[in-house]
Structures are given as structure tokens and as C-alpha cells.
Structure 1
Amino acid sequence: MTHNTPLSPRPLHHLADGRRRLMTVAQLRAHGVSAAETDEQCRPGGPWQRLLPNVVLLHPGPPTSEERLHAVLLYAARERTERPAAGATASVPVQPGREEAPAPAYAEAVITGLAALTLHGFSAAPPLPSLDAIDVLVPRLRRLRTTGCARIVRTTALPTAVWVTGVPAAPVARALADAVAELTDAGVVRRLLTEAVRGGHCEPAAVVRELNRARLLSRPHVVDAVDSLVAEGRALAEQRLYRMVREHGLPEPVWNVDLRLPGGPLLGGVDAFWPEHSVALELDTRAHRQQEDDAVWAEHVRKREHLERLGITVVHLTPRKLRDSTEHQATVVRTALMAAGDREPAAYVVVSPR
């Protein structure tokens, strides 16, 4: 035998078992399958097929939705032989508390957009088989192109992946922004954003931050959907607040009132007020553009400082605090109410419904 003698052909049926229905050309080569042999197996009518460049489906017939997802990841993931770009991370981070990254680990590739929302369980997102293209996030400097069912979405920084059924998916807020970037139907955008909040996937502020980062808030149909999103988020936060007062035995306040000095100007509105304790509560449900946030926050600070100069304690809560630490927030309110007896009497204010 000389160095030019070809190796004896290896049986290929073992590659197409239940666990290995997709492989890259490099992985096949590592299993002893030459490029010529791969071409032969992928001939028209053959047992294999090229699903994407350098990605081979090891059976005939259409791929399943799961196979399409993993094919896109195999196509977009950095092969071990590739050299990472300067400053790039060689792996996809895993969100704490989620699934551990399974093998194979898809370096520098994260499913996003509508496919990721479907993985997260969104009923308003289309089923995977109906998607012509699957969006996949890759670092900006990767030399990849959109092809077949893989649509490349470039980013300067990969988000922390959430592993769902063995697939690295972008967090909901990021997946929403990437999906909205491709959508023109205002109804679909509104349904997706509303489900994100109503389904408890994320807070409105997180969604709007991602939409703002993606420069999508200049689109009229997105702005309309954001208005609905903010209203939905506020309604849910108010429900949590009512439930916190009831379930934790807090005194019943007067809800959604305006405060003013007798014969004087309006001091501002609050979400709950305990007149006998001079304690007011405000929900921070801001979720608009940064410039608007700055103006709203400045006005909020002025109102809070004015009320506190009058001897009224202002408790500030966010929807996330109400959702994630209800008991602790109830303790904060109860402490403020109990401390009322140790304070100087507050100024008399007129309370009226908002």
C-alpha cells in the first residue's frame, strides 16, 4: 500500500441514525467521508441532500421543522477551524436558570425573529413549518450570506441565548425587535407586542428599549403598537397592585386620584393614596423613547419632591418589582404606613378622582 492508495470505503448508514440526521461537510470529513463521496450521496434521487451550503441532510424527503432550525444553526455557527474575529466571543452564552447548552454548541449563532418567538411559545407567531426563512443572529464581521431558509441578521453583540428544546434562541425582547424589523402588518405587530406583556414574557420597557435600539420607533405602525403595549403593561401592573393590597392585608387606599392644595394648583396624580397615613404610591410604567423618558422622569421627580416637602411619603414601584418580589413590595408599603405616626403631620390636601 502506498500513500496514494485510497482508504477502503466506510459504510455510511451509521451516520444517518436518529441522532445524526444533519452534519456539516467538515463533520462528514471527520467521519472519513470524502467530498466526492458526499457529492455522490447528494446526487438527485440519492439518500442525502444539501439543505444549505456545507450542511447535509442525511435522509431523502423534506426536512422537519427541527431539522431546518438545526440546519440554519449549523450553517451560521462558527466551525472550530474558523478563527474568531478580534474581540469576538467564541461561544454563545447561556442565560442563567435556563437549559444548559447541549451538544453541539452552536458558536456565534442564535435563532431570533419569528422563529424564536415560536420557540418561546407565542401563539401570535406563525408555526415553524410556515416560515420561509429562519432568522439567525451572527456577529457583524462574520462572512455569511442569506441563503435558502437561513436569513442572516448581523449584530455588534450577540445577546445571551435562551436554550429552548435544544435550540439557542434570542431573549423575547430582542426576538421581538428582530421580528418587527421585517413586519409591515400593524395588526401582527400589535398582537406580538401585546402577547409579550400579557403572557408575562417581558416588561414593556424591555421591548421598547430593543425597538429603540433597532431604530424602529420612527415607523408609524410600530409607534401605534407601542402605545397599545404601554396600555397593556399598565393594566397588568395595576392588577398586580390591587392583588398585592388585597392578598397582603394592606389597608385599602383610594385609587387613581389627583392631589392638590386647597384652593391651590394640582400637585399631581398618584395610583394609590392613604389619606390617614399621608402615603402615596406611584407605578412607573414609562416605556417610551429616551427623550420622552427624560422629560417624564424630570416631572416625576419634581412632583415627588413637592409632595415630600408637604410631608407626604411617596412609594415608587415598577411593574417588574410587583411581578418578581410582591411580598417585599408589600413590606415596603406597610413600613411606610407604619412610620406615619412618627412623622410630623402632613399638609392637608384635597383628593379627587382622576
Structure 2
Amino acid sequence: MNHNTPLSPRPLHHLADGGRRVLTTAQLRTHGVSAARATEQCRPGGPWRQLLPGVVLLHPGPPTSEERLHAVLLYATRQRTAGVPAQPGADESPAPPYAEAMITGLAALTLHGFSCAPPLPSLDVLDVLVPRLRRLRSTGCARVVRTSDLPVPTRVTGLPVAPVPRALADAVAGLGNAGNTGNTGNTGNADTVRLLLAEAVRGGHCEPAAVVRELTRARLLNRPHVVDAVDSLLAEGRAAAEARLYRMVRDHGLPDPVWNVDLRLPGGPHLGGLDAYWPEQAVALELDTRAPRPGGRAADDARWAEHARKRELLERLGITVVHVTPRALRDASEQQATVVRTALTASADRDPAAYVVVLPR
């Protein structure tokens, strides 16, 4: 018996009436529909339409946004969608696996719930992220984006969608395409980039450092409007982290520190700025909002080395330094409050710290 032989053909209206109305030609063959028969159905005036090479819409009208998304994913994975013939009575609309493909760019941000991302019907092309070595070209409504490091997708309404930082980077990279934005002006692009990055932080979708890492990896920080947006993003992220820090101290009953101060040795050098300081216990807290910045790896290394030097100097003077990340404040504020409280309590068992001058920053 030839296991590649389809089972007895079923009426074509059965396919069109099924739950999922976008299939590949390989999937159609498992239903007994030959390539020639599919081509005939897709002729002008026919009951079906070919949306993308090897991908068929099983009705004559325009596709819905959901159908376009499925079509793009099927196009990106169509070589892998051939399966065993459909069995009579089986579910006709199983959730497709879409192995090694996911929606990215502006469409992904819309699916993630970004209010400033354009609605799906307005997007002429939908970005799909695939491994770098895949032999696939952009065509029709599918724009292929390749990567050597495919992220783990997030499932949104059953679809594989790139994580927000990766989707942002791909959206920024593709904003020069008038079909996606409806605006080819540099000012329009700059405003869109700034709004998208700001919403990523305000909406709690991700931390600024994750966005900047993806923009750096995509080599997008050589665009002046992206650099400006990143500066605003990092400022926005720090403001949000500071607000969480204030709430942590208040909500968990920690003693009030002095906020945003500079430390100096009496008549001596500047020791560095701190987000919070408890003078009686000689405990300092610093928000670790470091992220890659324009200027390259050497500039980042220099900034990070300065942070390490400051911490070492303060600890040599007997000052305990607690570093807290914005993500930890967001996801585990009670745990971070415990760390601070432990440091404050332990101060009674330490030798007195050196006298330092505390100045407002």
C-alpha cells in the first residue's frame, strides 16, 4: 500500500465550511485535492483565492486579519505542514504548530496590545520571523525577517508571536516601509519609534534594557531618531523604577531613607550618587538601570567599570551597597524589601562606617 496516496476525496464545500479556511496546497492534498484542482478553484471568479505561494484561502472574498496572519505563518512553514491524510470525522481545524516561525514587527506589537501600533487591517505586509538559513523570500503580504537566534514565541490568540523586545526591534527596522506605516517622513517615523518604545515601558511589557539589547543587536543605534528615542526610553524606565522603589519602602514599612543624594568624604573626593541612603545604618541603595547605550561596547564597559569602582570604594568605607533592578522591583518587591531590611538590621553588628558628607543630588 502506498501511504502517500490520499484517502477518498471529500466534497470541496466541506473544506470551505470547516473551522479554518486557510490551508497549504500540501494540506489540501491530504484532503484529496490535487494541485491542478486547487489551481482551478483559484481561477478568477472561482470559489477560492491563492493568498501566497502554496497557501490558499477557501473563500472568494477578502481575507480577515486572522486569515492573513495564518496565511503568512503557513507560507513560512509550508514545507513542514504536509501530514497524514485527513481522517473522516476528524477535527478539521487543529491548532497548527507553525514550527520555527512567528509573527514579529508591528503586527506582533498590535497582537501584544500596543495601543499606538496600527490596526492589523491597515498593515499591507506582515513580518514573519524565521531562522536565518531558511530558503524563503518575501512576497505579497509576507515580509520575511531572518535571525540566527530565534526567540521563544509568546502565544497570543493561539498564534506564535515574537517577544516584545524582538518585535520592537523588527518594527523599528521596518518603519521605513511606507506600506506598514502610511508615512514615509522621517518625522513620522521618529514619532512612531518614540511612542512604541515609551509604551513598551509604560505598559509594563518589558524593561528598557531588554529593548536596548535588541536594538543594539539589530544595529539600529546608528539612526539618530532611534538614539533619541532610546534616551527617552531609559529616562522613562528610570522614572518608573524610582516610583516602584518609593512604593516598596512605603508598602513594606521600611524606615525612610534620604532620597537621591551624593556622598563625599569631608574635604575629599566625590564618592558617587545614590538613589536612597540610610545614614544611621550606612546602607546605600542603587537602582541598577544600566543598559547598552549609543557609543559602543567600549563606552558601555567604561560606564560599568565606574559603577563597580564606586561600589568597591563605598564598601571599603564600611557602607553596605544594595543593588536593585527595575525588574526585581516590579516582580519581587517583597523580596527586595527583605534584602534591604536585612542590611539595615545587620548594621548593628558591623564596625562603624567612615564619616561621609550627604548632599542633595
User: Same fold, TM exceeding 0.5?
Assistant: yes
The answer to whether residue 218 in structure 2 is matched with residue 214 in structure 1 is yes
What letter is aligned with 1:151? Answer: R
Residue equivalent to 2:136: 144
Residue 18 (structure 1) shift: 4.2
RMSD value, Cα? 1.5
Distance in 1 separating the partners of 2:301 and 2:311: 15
Q: Is the 8 A contact 2:27 2:81 kept in 1?
A: no
Please tell me whether the aligned partners of residues 122 and 195 of structure 1 are also in contact (alpha carbons under 8 angstroms).
yes
| Residues in 1 aligned to 2:9 and 2:330: alpha-carbon distance in whole angstroms | 61
Q: State whether structure 2 residue 315 is matched by structure 1 residue 293.
A: no
Partners of 1:339 and 1:71 in 2: CA distance:
61
Q: Is the 8 A contact 1:69 1:134 kept in 2?
A: yes
Alignment of 1:21-100 (within 5 A): 21-80=21-80
Residue in structure 1 matched with residue 164 of structure 2 by the alignment: 172
Structure 2 residue aligned with 1:303: 310
Q: What is the match of residue 259 of structure 1?
A: 263
Aligned partners of 1:78 and 1:107 also within 8 Å: no
Matches within 5 A, 1:312-327: 312-327=319-334
Q: Which residue of 1 aligns with 2:196?
A: 192
Decide which moves more: 225-234 or 32-41. 32-41
Q: Which runs of 5+ in 2 are unaligned?
A: 1-6, 83-93, 177-188
| Secondary structure of the corresponding residue to residue 103 of structure 1 | coil
Structure 1 residues 114-133: aligned runs within 5 Å: 114-133=106-125
| 1:90 aligned residue | none
Question: 2:26·2:81 contact (CA, 8 Å) conserved in 1?
Answer: no
Distance (Å, rounded) in 2 between the aligned partners of 1:157 and 1:48: 37
Question: Aligned residue for 1:113?
Answer: 105
Residues 350 and 154 (structure 1), Cα distance of their counterparts in 2 relative to 1, 3 Å cut? same
* Cα distance between partner residues in 2 of 1:38 and 1:81: 17
The secondary structure found in structure 1 opposite 2:302 is helix
What amino acid sits opposite 1:303 in the alignment?
A: K
For residues 175 and 81 of structure 2, what CA distance do their matches in structure 1 show? 36
The alignment-based identity, stated in percent, is 80
Structure 1 residue matching 2:250: 3-state secondary structure: helix
Please give the alpha-carbon distance, in whole angstroms, between the structure 1 residues aligned to 2:308 and 2:67: 53
SS in 1 for 2:171: helix
Residues 214-239 of structure 1, C-alpha deviations (whole Å, 9 max, x = no match): 01111111100000000000000000
SS of 1:50's equivalent? strand
Summarize deviations over 1:259-287 as a string: whole Å, max 9, x none. 00111111111000011111110001112
Equivalent pair of 2:10/2:31 in contact (CA under 8 Å): no
Structure-1-length-normalised TM-score: 0.90
The one-letter code of the counterpart of 2:123 is L
Question: What is the match of residue 237 of structure 1?
Answer: 241
Measured after TM superposition, the shift of residue 9 of structure 1 is 6.3
Residue in 2 aligned with 1:88? none
- Structure 2 CA distance for partners of 1:18 and 1:9, relative to 1, 3 Å: closer
Matched, 1:271 2:275: yes
The answer to whether the Cα contact below 8 Å between 1:253 and 1:272 also exists between their aligned partners in 2 is yes
Matched pairs, number: 329
Letter in 2 for 1:61: G
Distance (Å, rounded) in 2 between the aligned partners of 1:306 and 1:158? 41
Corresponding position of 1:17: 17
Query: Aligned partners of 1:195, 1:183: CA distance in 2, in Å?
Result: 17
